[in-house]
Structure 1
Amino acid sequence: MAQRTKPTKTKTPRQFAIGELPSREAILQAMAENPDLDGKRDLARHFGVHGDMRTPFKVLLKQMEGEGFIARSRKQIRRTAALPAVTVLDIAADADPDNLHAFPAQWNDEEGTPPRVEVRQPKDARVVPAPGDRILARIDAGEGEVPHYTARTMKILDKPRRGQIGIVRMDEGGARLIPVDRKQREMRIDGGDLGDARDGDLVEVEVKFAGRLMIPKARVSSVIGNPESEGAVSMIAIHNLDIPYRFPASVTKEAEEATDVSLKGREDWRHIPLVTIDPVDAKDHDDAVYAEPDADPGNVDGHIVYVAIADVAAYVRPGTALDREAYIRGNSVYFPDRVVPMLPERISNDLCSLREGENRPSLAVRMVFDKTGRKRSHTFHRVLFRSAAKLSYQQAQAAIDGKPDDKTGPILDTILRPLWAAYAVMAQARDARGPLDLDLPERKIILDKAGMVVDVKVPERLEAHRLIEEMMIAANVAAAETLEKHKSALLYRVHDVPSQEKLVALRDFLSSLSLPAPKSDAVRPVDFNRILDKARTEGKIQQVSEIVLRTQAQAEYAAENYGHFGLNLDRYAHFTSPIRRYADLIVHRALISALSLGKDGLTDSEITRLPGIAEHISSTERRAMLAERETIDRLLAQFLSAHVNARFQGRISGVTRSGLFVRLKDTGADGFIPASTLGADYYRFVEEMQAMVGDRTGETFRIGDDVEVRLLEAAPIAGALRFELLSEGARGVPSSGKRGRRGPSTPRGKAGAHRKPAKRKR
């Protein structure tokens, strides 16, 4: 631990009258001035404690030990060291958000119980911590010999993993743990600490320290299983990124005690036949839709669209254990065959899941559109409704395409066709608005019962997907507009305009392809759409799509609004998925407060903490995206490990000075080819072309090029692939002689292993 301030010496404490106990301050002062006072008897003798006062004196010392003022080792008692003026604190995960307390992040157990620190949050604070955060704080010990620690937050820090995982390897000396994270070192495992683990098992361990040298050793706490299976692979990402996946007992208890919400204080919408349309394997259902023609003679050919969202706010109240845990998680994390939910199943898959034929509480919006798709009005309602049908995207689309089944046939004319009619006019307005049209396919991993990859598919993008997406976007916009109208605080979903540096790089790249580029720095999504249309016409869409994607900023949450560039919207908030996103729960509470829909709305404390909440949940969202991507990379590396030396068709998805990133067409797996293995020329990275160009031959490999590669190595635990390039590059102008990487005078061979970032989320 960091060096601590030494206590200031004061005068010798006064003598105490018979029958009077010394104060805590007097005891600490005496111990500071007299280091030899290191036992209960010495202290009792010093203060003249005897007879009937000995027992109360022992109780007092015990209390001081529990409060962290003194520490006891065997029969010795000593004063604990003071906290340094600036230190790292961990805020308790179960702390009251309005009355935060924390403890030192590092503390030697020999110093006794770590002191409790009150975390003060002035209204004008620029950094707003929350339960579960790790902070760098300025410490004030207060007046007097007994420190009353308070802290002011300077910075919110990343927290290290709570546990470690690795693979057990048996050897002559017993067993050792091979860590998954390369930054960690191997540890020995004593025979009695192996549990049921066997050679090759992926395990979760606790770290213990042995001997005077405090040598770290591992103790197996649980066996995760086969490191090649999805269940184990997702656990690697969960641990590496410190994703909470076990609910505390208090959270589970609170969820299990929750009961159905009644109609009291709600509108009865059970006569409106809303339906859910989700993926076939959806694990929760938090939105339902319905549409009908508008009967208003003043809105001929207009439509009314209803969007009902699970009323999570009715069950997850501010300040409860459920709320604190949901905030810490920030969002659900989705893996190919596992979900780490934001809320316990009792809430997410039961009480708040919009099940067919069951009463469910909802926060709903009724929107009126004219025949051009322009929204004329909207209103929010707190309701009780009953889903008329649970449909999949494929099921609903098939019905519209003329292939209804037993469930969709009876509701085709009354529910599905009116939904598609409403979407048709909403799509007109969307096209007129001109959001960024960068529709990149997403891969779906198919697993067998053992959790092993058997196939990789790119799901077909259906009109049913676009229908639900457009209606959710409209509901999100309505939520932001309503809260702004009522001058309510809210969390925006924001997406900034591309930076000037990225626009310059885009212009250079487009120029190298002889494609027109936006001349002004004040770009709009429609400018990018024109570029994409032109590239599609000239057969260059793959190259351009990758670069346009990389030009975009990262979408995030913010308490201040700066619009959503990708959707081309002035104001936007996330309202439609409170089961899996904490941001949406905050927006629900804000609507409840602004529209006086109940007593479980946004609190004053939450309003003051909105900037910190936005920063935190933006971070947890990025963490979830990284975990999902890492897990898919590991699964694909495992899947392809049986095909080393096989040939694959791929596409160059990235170019750096180090080499080429290649994405395989069949699986979407990413791998790397080092520049040093490209060939017998001297290859240079030409940034404006996003290409490697040979000095002598002008042989060019650029982003978007189709290539054939050979898989040289697959590293499943690292999620990495090494390729050998088999294709010849295009012949062009030799490079200009700028710094680059030389290829060897040998056939194209070895490669390196890296990954590239995944696509942005809205």
Structure 2
Amino acid sequence: MAKQRDKVFPSRDAIVAFIRTNPGSIGTREIAREFGLKNADRVELKRILRELRDEGTIAKRGRKLREPAVLPPTVVADITGRDNDGELIASPTEWDEQTGDPPKIRIHIPRRSQPGTSAGVGDRALLRIEKSDDSEGAAYRGRVIRVIDHAKARVLGIFRRLPDGGGRLVPVDKKQAGRELNIAKADTGGAEDGDLVSVDIVRSRGYGLASGKIRERLGSLASEKAVSLIAIHAHEIPQAFSPAALREAEAATPATLAGREDWRALPLITIDPPDAKDHDDAVHAEADPDPNNKGGHLVTVAIADVAFYVRPGSALDRDALMRGNSVYFPDRVVPMLPERISNDLCSLVPGEPRGALAVRMVIANDGRKRSHRFHRILMRSAAKLNYAQAQAAIDGRPDDTTGPLLDPILKPLYAAYATIKRARDERDPLDLDLPERKILLKPDGTVDRVITPERLDAHRLIEEFMILANVAAAEMLEKKALPLIYRVHDEPTLEKVHNLQEFLKTLDLPFAKSGALRPSLFNRVLDQVKGHDSEPLVNEVVLRSQAQAEYSAENYGHFGLNLRRYAHFTSPIRRYADLMVHRALLRGLGLGDGALPETETLETLSEIAAQISATERRAMKAERETADRLIAHFLADRIGATFQGRISGVTRAGLFVKLTDTGADGLVPIRTLGTEYFNYDETRHALVGTRSGAMHRLGDVVDVRLVEAAPVAGALRFELLSEGRIAPRGRQGSRTTGDGPRVQFSARAKAHPDRSSRKKGRKPGNHKSGKSGKGKSHKDGKSRKDKSKQGKSGKSKSGKGKSWTA
């Protein structure tokens, strides 16, 4: 019997070859079908695939297999230069550096290029790629689908006036630090000293300063409102809508009953943050009258019918795709759609008839969804509540608005949530406890304070209702066999899981992985440290082990939510992905105008998914940088003050510390830690002194003194006042790299300059900031190895504050 199996069972090379020819589209089932494997053969196949993954020969993404570090067919890439033949060379914009150097892509330029595909060095473009056998090092060849961002011919910076009436431009981009521009008197455009300005480069030469001409005065940095403008301009986030899009928005008229069901009598309500300006989702729940579903509920989620107004191929559609999503700053919102659409016609304001796409879901008494159905409706919101207001009413403190709503509307909503929560708890999604801070501004635009909003059941209720609706949308489109854009979140890589295991060993915490990787494995670890000093540390390290969520036309599930299929459906006002899902539902269910065109295929949706994943990350980075700059402005006049914080990052450059009261991040350079060598222990996320054994570890509570604040860059530099704990001898100064030898890293820590300066009677912080090393890894508050931590957007109604941003 064994001999017969040996004859038909495929070799390892044959299995790898089959995976290589079908990258990202096959799993165990498809391989078994290809080679005719059944029963016991499948057990052997799984064993071989596990060995191949452990060896690094293949990689797994969700349930699909591919070669490791293989790029998808559609990718956003940065054009970095030209080869000897003058052809453009690019590399992927998003790349996990732990997998090695990013692969090169050689771009083929056809004789006749399509409009919008003419690219050059420095541009960011969406590429269609395929593997290449290029002997000169380019692993892929590709063609430009569209250029997303052109190389910057404009510089953003601070104008410094000179005595002759001209001036200098000091760029705010760290990459351009030290490259000042000369501004002639005639080209200052009336700018004052200290103004934030946009400058066109008018002349550049090989010697001396390049020259520039001020194109636009953006405001004085004395006002924090200029801070968000830095991020908007630095990341080239579009602010102005095209005239054609504005004309379309102004010409739009309110939805009528034509082609819709009349649901105006159903008391749907909106529950949002108190400062929300648009209200695109409304909810309702009631006990299911069906005697076969005792204890069950009917849950309705109605979403603004944006697809009715933003038609495929229209000017509004082109502008929305270019933005990809709305961007939220403490002082302003850069919307995906004009206010006429987002804040008026598609905002579900109380008492006004509004078009919506609604899903009614039947929930069993165990919290599971039994069925769902989509409807295109005309609705009228019964009330607009905020989270605290709804929660106060349930907790026995209703106001004039919520009092009449308590029994007929709010109590049934919370009863349905209590039932749904049972299924949610059984599903056991990733449950990280990472408080999110919010910056509150004064009327003049300056920072008032930073708060940590309380997490209420009202938040969780809306999150779970939205997750149910998103799942229903994905299931419906799969049932109709229509292509769609999924919201996906890959499971952690084997390397990151191994690193997490090694770290948890240092805390004597077990992480026994057997079988498939599930969120529950991480939750068990998190449960063990609840209420302990190590809780923030473990939450942070588990967070860093996770992948980042993205949009994809290929479904590989959502690991963080522990869902097999998931799509964004609930916020089409501010996310283009949701608008595409709405259009697909209209097409699949025959619900009328605004449907997804037949020309939209899996290939075109893959291109859109790659583009809006990039714009989402652009928005998150801009939001994070703005928060850093605002806090740096807030603390700029407190140089020398002492703060308590927690070590939020450990790198070879030093320690990043997050302040407890404001959430501000700053760097403690390694050379200021003491008078001995410090080793970077990657396994324990710590810096350890070689002589004293003093250890500064991720998650430690420390006291620091603010030495320097650079508001324009959003950078803070601290002096560490706390002593390190003593590390066990024999384990410091090393890290484990796979199964290989232990590798040691050392950095000489020099005497602290501020300590020596105080001996000479000088105040802390008087030494030059440019020598502090603060810019080396402070670009976004993280080390290069911690890029996977991106993404606390806080705008998603599900999974707020997690790296994968549900």
- The TM-score by the shorter chain falls in which range? 0.7 to 0.9
Of the candidates 691, 707, 724, which is equivalent to residue 696 of structure 1? Answer: 691
1:180 is matched with 172
Distance of 1:368 and 1:677 partners within structure 2 = 61
2:629 aligns with one of 614, 634, 645? 634
Output one character per residue of 1:589-641: Cα deviation in whole Å (capped at 9) or x when no partner: 00000000013211133324101100000000000000000000011111111
Amino acid at match of 1:277: I
CA contact (8 A) 1:671 1:721 kept: yes
* Matched residue type, 1:336: P
- In structure 1, give the amino acid aligned to 2:746: G
**Counterpart code for 1:179:** P
Q: Which residue type is aligned with residue 234 of structure 2? A: N
Q: Look up the match of 2:718.
A: 723
The aligned counterpart of 2:493 is 499
For residues 262 and 717 of structure 1, the distance between their equivalents in structure 2, rounded to whole angstroms, comes to 49
Q: Distance in 1 between matches of 2:233 and 2:89?
A: 22
Rounded Cα–Cα distance in structure 1 between residues aligned with 2:471 and 2:577 = 14
In structure 2, relative to structure 1, the CA distance for the partners of 1:747 and 1:133 (3 Å cut) is closer
1:678 lines up with 2:702 in the alignment: no
Q: Could you tell me which of 140, 152, 157 is aligned with 1:166?
A: 157
> Of 644, 653, 656, which residue of structure 1 is paired with 2:651?
656
CA distance in 2 between counterparts of 1:161 and 1:576 reads 35
Q: Secondary structure at the match of 1:689?
A: coil
How much has 1:732 moved relative to structure 2?
2.3
Any conservation in 1 of the 2:116–2:147 contact (CA below 8 Å)?
no
Q: Which amino acid aligns with 1:171?
A: L
RMSD, aligned CA: 2.7
Aligned partner of residue 523 in structure 1, secondary structure: coil
Is the 8 Å Cα contact of residues 308 and 593 (structure 2) preserved in structure 1? no
Check whether the contact 2:162–2:168 (CA below 8 A) recurs between aligned residues: yes
1:397-449 superposed Cα distances (whole Å, 9 cap, x missing partner): 11111111110001110111110000000111100100000131111111112
Match of 1:428, SS?
helix
Residue range with higher mean Cα deviation, 620-629 or 235-244 = 235-244
String of CA shifts for 1:622-662, please: whole Å, max 9, x gaps: 00000000000011111111111111000011111221111
Inter-partner Cα distance in structure 2 for 1:459 and 1:390: 20
Matched, 1:227 2:221: yes
Aligned amino acid, residue 660 of structure 1: L
Deviation digits for residues 45-70 of structure 1, max 9, x if unmatched? xxxxxxxxxxxxxxxxxxxxxxxxxx
Deviation readout 1:245-285 (Å, 9 max, x if unpaired): 11121111111111112110000010100000000001211
Q: Provide Cα deviations, 1:461-519, integer angstroms capped at 9, x if missing partner.
A: 11100000000000000000000011111000000000011001100100001111133
Superposition deviation, residue 360 in structure 1? 0.5
Q: Which amino acid aligns with 1:469?
A: E
Q: Select which of 476, 479, 500 maps to 1:482.
A: 476
Q: Shift of the alpha carbon at 1:230?
A: 3.1
Instruction: Determine the structure 2 residue equivalent to 1:10.
Output: none
After TM superposition, give the deviation of residue 155 of structure 1 in Å: 8.6
Q: Residue 251 of structure 1: SS of its match in structure 2?
A: helix
Q: Does 2:210 align with 1:204?
A: no
1:428 aligns with 2:422: yes
> More displaced, 237-246 or 476-485?
237-246
Q: Does 1:585 align with 2:576?
A: no
Structure-2 change in CA distance of 1:577 and 1:163 (3 Å): farther
Correspondence for 1:273: 267
* Distance in 1 of aligned mates of 2:199 and 2:620: 25
The aligned residue for residue 742 of structure 1 is 748
Note the alpha carbon deviations across 1:151-196, whole angstroms, 9 max, x for none: 9538967533464322111102322222212334322333333333
Q: Is the 8 A contact 1:88 1:135 kept in 2?
A: no
Matched AA of 1:674 = P
**Change beyond 3 A, Cα 1:258–1:551:** same
TM-score, normalised by the number of residues in structure 2: 0.75
The answer to whether the aligner puts 1:401 opposite 2:392 as a matched pair is no
Give yes or no for contact 2:553–2:606 (8 Å, CA) kept in 1: yes
What's the offset of the Cα at 1:739?
2.4
Distance 1:297 1:610 in 2: 43
Aligned counterpart for 2:335 among listed residues 315, 325, 341: 341
1:119-134 equivalent positions in 2, closer than 5 A: 134=125
Unaligned runs of 5+ in 1: 1-83, 90-104, 106-114, 122-126, 139-150
- Secondary structure in structure 1 of the residue aligned to 2:114: strand
Q: 1:246 aligns with which of 236, 240, 247?
A: 240
The structure number with the bigger radius of gyration is: 1
1:645 aligns with 2:651: no
Question: What letter corresponds to residue 254 of structure 2 in structure 1?
Answer: D
Map of 1:98 onto structure 2: none
Work out the percentage of aligned pairs sharing the same amino acid. Answer: 58
Q: What is the aligned partner in structure 2 of residue 531 from structure 1?
A: 525
Q: Tell me, yes or no, if the aligned pair for 1:161 and 1:241 is still in contact at 8 Å.
A: no
Correspondence for 2:312 among 309, 318, 327: 318
Q: Tell me by how many angstroms 1:222 deviates.
A: 2.6
The residue number in structure 2 matching 1:616 is 611
Paired residue secondary structure (1:289): strand
Distance 1:697 1:215 in 2: 49
**TM-superposed deviation, 1:355:** 0.8
What is the distance in 2 between the residues matched to 1:512 and 1:254?
Answer: 61
Q: 1:228 to 1:568 in 2, by over 3 A?
A: farther
Tell me which moved more, 694-703 or 616-625.
694-703
Aligned to 1:81: none
Q: Could you report, residue by residue, the CA deviation over 1:371-402 in whole angstroms, capped at 9, with x for unpaired residues?
A: 11011110000000000001111111111111
Structure 1 stretch 203-212 or stretch 267-276: which is displaced more? 203-212
- The Cα shift of 1:328 comes to 0.6
Q: Distance in 1 between matches of 2:528 and 2:406?
A: 39
- Normalising by structure 1, we get a TM-score of 0.79
**1:290 aligns to what?**
284
Pair 570,158 (structure 1): closer, same or farther in 2 beyond 3 Å: same
- Of 387, 411, 414, 1:417 maps to 411
Query: Would you say the 8 A contact 1:161–1:239 is kept in 2?
Result: no
Q: Which residue of 2 aligns with 1:559?
A: 553
Alpha-carbon distance between aligned partners in 2 of 1:743 and 1:363, rounded to the nearest angstrom: 61
- Aligned to 2:595, which of 576, 580, 601? 601
CA separation in 1, counterparts of 2:246 and 2:154?
Answer: 21
Mapped partners of 1:649, 1:212: distance in 2:
48
Shift of 1:745: 4.7
User: 1:210 and 1:650 mapped to 2: Cα distance?
Assistant: 45
In structure 2, relative to structure 1, the CA distance for the partners of 1:426 and 1:211 (3 Å cut) is closer
Q: Hey, what's the Cα distance between the residues in 2 that align with 1:667 and 1:210?
A: 42
1:383 and 1:523 map into 2 onto residues whose CA distance is 41
Secondary structure at the aligned position of 1:260 is classed as coil
Letter paired with 1:283:
K
The residue number in structure 1 matching 2:563 is 569
Cα offset, 1:537, TM superposition:
5.1
C-alpha distance in structure 1 between counterparts of 2:288 and 2:184, whole Å: 73
1:88 positional shift: 10
- In terms of mean alpha carbon deviation, does 343-352 or 672-681 score higher? 672-681
1:356 to 350, 354, 375: 350
Q: Which amino acid aligns with 2:271?
A: I
Contact 1:277 1:468 in 2 (8 A): yes
Distance 1:239 1:553 in 2: 28
* CA 488–646 in structure 1, closer or farther in 2 if over 3 Å, else same: same
